Amino acid sequence: MLKPNEGKADRIVRVVLGAGLIAGGFLTTGTVAIVLWAAGAISLITGAIGFCGLYALLGINTCPVNKK
Q: What is the pLDDT of residues 1-51, one digit of tens each?
A: 788 899 999 999 999 999 999 999 999 999 999 999 999 999 999 999 999
Residue 47 resides in a domain = yes
The whole-number pLDDT of residue 48 equals 93
The whole-number pLDDT of residue 67 equals 60
Q: Which domain holds residue 25?
A: 8-58
User: What is the C-alpha to C-alpha distance for residues 56 and 58, in angstroms, rounded to an integer?
Assistant: 5
Summarised one tens digit per residue, pLDDT across range 19-32 is 999 999 999 999 99
Write down the pTM of the prediction. 0.84
**Structural domain tally of the chain?**
1
User: What is the C-alpha to C-alpha distance for residues 21 and 10, in angstroms, rounded to an integer?
Assistant: 16
Residue 66 resides in a domain = no
The whole-number pLDDT of residue 66 equals 66
Residue 63 resides in a domain = no
Residue 65 resides in a domain = no
